[in-house]
């Protein structure tokens, strides 16, 4: 039986596998990460690992899952070790990450997570809980008061259930113990993510003690961030292939592209790593970087996911290999680029070329259905924001609207070949109910535009946009996604 990756088996790894270059036993857990999934392990954890490599041993990680024990059960038998597989056409680069000191499962023991967050060694809390994990109304940014977990945290903080609830409870405990607050860094694809996280935490805190909210607002820090790396889901085949290279089983491995970017607003309230030395961009304004990434990379990804998924195409690189789809992406970028205010240092033309090269990387095997998840939470910032900006100037939105129409078509749960798929989305029940009583594209567009949690009234009432969506949805229904893209006059 093949052995697992662990402290005991590290010495048996082949020379090509990069190993931790520091004394793991001397590391202190200065970071708590909420949402301990693949993206964190392939992005922020890699940066904290680099900090440990410099000899600054304050940045070990306590991972925390707010839902299931799956990742904990994968990584605990490996003593927190896992392999980061960086993958491109030239082959795989392997690095064993040792930064993880422990993994907690919040529903099993909420008090343990609050205690770790409140510990004086904890200086930074990072989050990748996805858009829906913030429990915010996409239209207003307010807490979802009718959500049972939010309601429970607003009623009491003894056993928090939500990310804002855990942060508020820990900050309450730190204040009571005379410990300064930590810096809380949202790493999710939300516009103004730091401010939105701060508002959510303040709302929970204010419900229990207005003076606590005032202390958090005055003493805490919630910097804005932009993060970028393509991290496809790990498959069973990936684990088998890595075993062949390592001679060990690694159930917690992650894979990603070589590109990694992290931009953080220079707003901290305590110790932090020397981020600049580690390749992180620390800036006075994240918004222009964030806007460019959301509207170019993420917006194109959503369009690729829904159109490619409807056409029965499994992977991103297969979609952009088809000339008509590549032209569609360029057309979407042309529309979105006109809404940007690029920051100094961002060459948009070069960025677009690099993005297409990243999308075309066949080694990543990035599934369209993975990107299609949670579309109702992603559309506002990725596609609707640039649509609104263009419509305010009287400009057309042909390519952006096609991506939205493809999302509408995806809600039917059937692709162009008639094969069923799961609409994995927190609003799936609502979109399904709206579409059950509609047949014609005009009625379907009207039904979905009336979901104001996704579409703001100004867009829902835009007759020009509505007509464009109807035209595209009719074409998608009659021709299919690939033929629709091939017949449109992209440049």
Cα torsion through 467, 471, 472, 473, rounded to 10: 90
Closest to 190 in 3D by CA, of 130, 268, 142: 130
- How distant, in Å, are the alpha carbons of 184, 328, 348 from that of 324? 43, 6, 22
Beta bridge partners of 100: 61
- Are 262 and 305 within one domain? no
Greatest C-alpha distance within the chain: 66
Using CB atoms within 10 Å of the CB of residue 178, give its burial: 0 to 12 exposed, 13 to 18 middle, 19+ buried.
exposed
Residue 431 contacts residue 376 (beta carbons within 8 Å): yes
Judge whether 2 lies within some domain: no
What is the CATH classification number for the domain harbouring 11?
3.40.50.720
Tokens at 66, concatenated: 């707010």
Q: What is the DSSP letter of 215?
A: H
Beta bridge partners of 225: 264
Using CB atoms within 10 Å of the CB of residue 484, give its burial: 0 to 12 exposed, 13 to 18 middle, 19+ buried.
buried
- Are 181 and 120 within one domain? yes
CA distance 2 to 424: 35
Residue 170 CA, distance from chain mean position: 24
pTM over 0.85: yes
- Are 332 and 204 within one domain? no
396 Cβ partners below 8 Å, 6+ apart?
335, 390, 468
Tell me which long-range contacts 20-25 makes (C-beta under 8 A, separation of at least 24): 20/49, 20/52, 20/53, 20/96, 20/97, 20/98, 21/53, 22/52, 22/53, 22/55, 22/57, 22/98, 23/57, 24/98
The number of residues making up the chain comes to: 491
- Are 429 and 473 within one domain? yes
Residue 326 contacts residue 320 (beta carbons within 8 Å): yes
- How distant, in Å, are the alpha carbons of 6, 72, 108 from that of 68? 22, 8, 9
Query: ∠44-46-50 over CA atoms, to 5°?
Result: 115
- Are 245 and 153 within one domain? yes
Residue 69 CA, distance from chain mean position: 20
Closest to 151 in 3D by CA, of 204, 197, 200: 204
111 Cβ partners below 8 Å, 6+ apart?
159
Closest to 49 in 3D by CA, of 100, 111, 104: 100
What is the CATH classification number for the domain harbouring 343?
1.10.1040.10
- Structure confidence at residue 191 (pLDDT): 87
Tokens at 200, concatenated: 């959510």
φ/ψ of residue 440, rounded to 5: -75, 145
Over the chain (491 residues), the average pLDDT of each successive run of 10 is 90 87 96 97 98 98 96 97 91 94 97 98 97 85 90 96 98 98 96 94 97 98 96 95 95 96 97 97 94 96 98 98 97 97 92 96 94 95 97 96 98 96 96 91 96 94 97 97 92 60
- Structure confidence at residue 1 (pLDDT): 63
- Are 364 and 445 within one domain? yes
Closest to 260 in 3D by CA, of 99, 40, 100, 56: 40
CA distance 201 to 195: 10
Instruction: Give the residue numbers spanning the domain of 336.
Output: 287-487
- Structure confidence at residue 491 (pLDDT): 60
Tokens at 216, concatenated: 């958090």
Give the containing element (helix H, strand E) for 263: strand 261-265
Boundary (domain end) residue, out of 283, 308, 327:
283
Number of domains in the chain: 2
- Are 193 and 337 within one domain? no
Tokens at 299, concatenated: 């917006």
- Are 228 and 83 within one domain? yes
81 Cβ partners below 8 Å, 6+ apart?
5, 6, 7, 10, 75, 96, 97, 98, 100, 250, 252
- Are 83 and 113 within one domain? yes
What angle do the packed helices 348-359 and 323-337 form, to 10 degrees? 150
- Are 274 and 292 within one domain? no
What are the helix and strand counts (H, E) for the chain? Answer: 23, 11
- Are 245 and 389 within one domain? no
Judge whether 461 lies within some domain: yes
Residue 62 contacts residue 102 (beta carbons within 8 Å): yes
- How distant, in Å, are the alpha carbons of 68, 102, 320, 430 from that of 360? 33, 36, 6, 34
460 Cβ partners below 8 Å, 6+ apart?
449, 450, 452
Query: ∠52-230-320 over CA atoms, to 5°?
Result: 160
Residue 129, helix vs strand vs coil: coil
Tokens at 21, concatenated: 């270059």
- Are 43 and 151 within one domain? yes
Judge whether 1 lies within some domain: no
Strands 82-88 and 91-97: antiparallel
Residue 106, helix vs strand vs coil: coil
Beta bridge partners of 328: none
Boundary (domain end) residue, out of 251, 283, 315:
283
């Amino acid at each position: 039986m093949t052995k697992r990756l662990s402290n005991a088996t590290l010495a048996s790894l082949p020379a090509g596998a990069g190993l931790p270059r520091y004394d793991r036993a001397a590391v202190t857990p200065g970071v708590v990460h909420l949402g301990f999934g693949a993206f964190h392990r392939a992005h922020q954890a890699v940066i904290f690992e680099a900090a440990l490599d410099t000899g600054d041993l304050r940045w070990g990680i306590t991972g925390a899952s707010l839902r299931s024990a799956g990742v904990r059960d994968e990584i605990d038998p490996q003593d927190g070790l896992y392999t980061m597989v960086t993958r491109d056409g030239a082959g795989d680069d392997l690095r064993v990450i040792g930064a993880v000191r422990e993994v907690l499962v919040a529903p099993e023991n909420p008090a343990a997570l609050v205690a770790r967050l409140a510990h004086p060694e904890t200086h930074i809390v990072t989050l990748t809980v996805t858009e829906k994990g913030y429990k915010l109304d996409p239209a207003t940014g307010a807490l979802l008061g009718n959500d049972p977990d939010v309601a429970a945290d607003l009623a009491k903080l003894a056993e928090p259930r939500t990310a804002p609830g855990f942060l508020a409870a820990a900050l309450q405990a730190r204040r009571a113990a005379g410990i300064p607050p930590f810096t809380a860094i949202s790493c999710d694809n939300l516009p103004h993510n730091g401010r939105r996280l701060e508002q959510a935490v303040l709302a929970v805190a204010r419900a229990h003690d207005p003076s606590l909210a005032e202390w958090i607002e005055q003493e805490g820090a919630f910097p804005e961030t932009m993060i970028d790396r393509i991290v496809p889901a790990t498959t069973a085949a990936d684990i088998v292939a890595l075993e062949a290279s390592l001679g060990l089983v690694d159930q917690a491995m992650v894979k990603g592209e070589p590109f990694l970017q992290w931009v953080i607003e220079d707003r901290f309230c305590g110790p932090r790593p020397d981020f600049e030395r580690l390749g992180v961009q620390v800036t006075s304004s994240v918004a222009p970087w964030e806007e460019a990434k959301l509207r170019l990379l993420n917006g194109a990804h959503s369009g690729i996911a829904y159109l490619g998924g409807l056409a029965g195409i499994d992977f991103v690189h297969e979609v952009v290999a088809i000339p008509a789809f590549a032209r569609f992406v360029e057309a979407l970028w042309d529309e979105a680029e006109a809404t940007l205010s690029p920051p100094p240092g961002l060459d948009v033309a070069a960025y677009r070329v690099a993005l297409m090269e990243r999308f075309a990387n066949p080694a990543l095997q990035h599934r369209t259905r993975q990107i299609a998840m949670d579309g109702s939470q992603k559309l506002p910032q990725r596609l609707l924001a640039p649509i609104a900006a263009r419509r305010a100037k009287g400009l057309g939105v042909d390519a952006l609207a096609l991506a939205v129409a493809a999302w509408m078509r995806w809600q039917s749960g059937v692709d162009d070949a008639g094969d069923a798929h799961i609409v994995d989305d927190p609003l799936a029940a609502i979109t399904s109910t709206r579409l059950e009583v509609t047949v014609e594209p005009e009625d379907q567009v009207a039904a979905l535009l009336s979901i104001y949690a996704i579409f703001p009234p100004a867009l829902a009432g835009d007759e020009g946009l509505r007509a464009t969506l109807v035209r595209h949805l009719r074409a998608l229904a009659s021709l299919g996604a690939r033929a629709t893209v091939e017949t449109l006059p992209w440049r």
